[in-house]
Every structure is written in structure tokens, then in C-alpha cells.
Amino acid sequence: MSKIKDFFKNPHIQISLATGISILTLAYFSKRVLPQPLSYLEIAAPPFIATIYESMLAKYKDKKFMQTWIWVLAIFIATALVIILHAV
């Protein structure tokens, strides 16, 4: 059980899971809920945040703004914004 907890404590895993959930959510909403499908650029917005996190992690690893939960939250907020702004 400890190995599983250690696995999910890894920041790369947390960001990857958040990004994957975001992409699946956007794909579902694009196909089933929204009147028009999302564009590729709209679907790429949350993963772009994950890319920014990964690129900044090496340089600013110990900074307060590099806490993983902040970036996971940003990915989920970006996902919600894409859906909401497209629905309007």
C-alpha cells in the first residue's frame, strides 16, 4: 500500500492525472453535451498549463507557486472555463 501512496504523491503523476481527466472531460462535453464540438485549440488549453508547470518545475522547484495542487486546480479551472465559454 505504501508504494501506491508514494506513486500518487509524485507531482508528475498528479499533473498527468489532472491533465488526462481534463482531456477526457473536454472530449465528453464536446461530443455529448455542447451544441458544437470544441476546437483543437480549446481542447489544448488545460494541457498547455501542464506543459508550463513541467517546464518551470526544474528552475523553480522550491518556490511556493510551484505547489502541485495549485497547478492541478488551474488545470481544472481552465477545463471549466473552456466548457462554460464555449456553451455561451
Q: Whole-model pTM above 0.75?
A: yes
Confidence of residue 58 (pLDDT cuts 50, 70, 90): confident
Cell of 33: 453535451
Q: In this prediction, what percent of the chain has a pLDDT beyond 90?
A: 83
Cell of 66: 510551484
Cell of 13: 503523476
- What domain range is 15 assigned to? 2-87
Number of folded domains that form the chain: 1
pLDDT for the residue numbered 64? 92
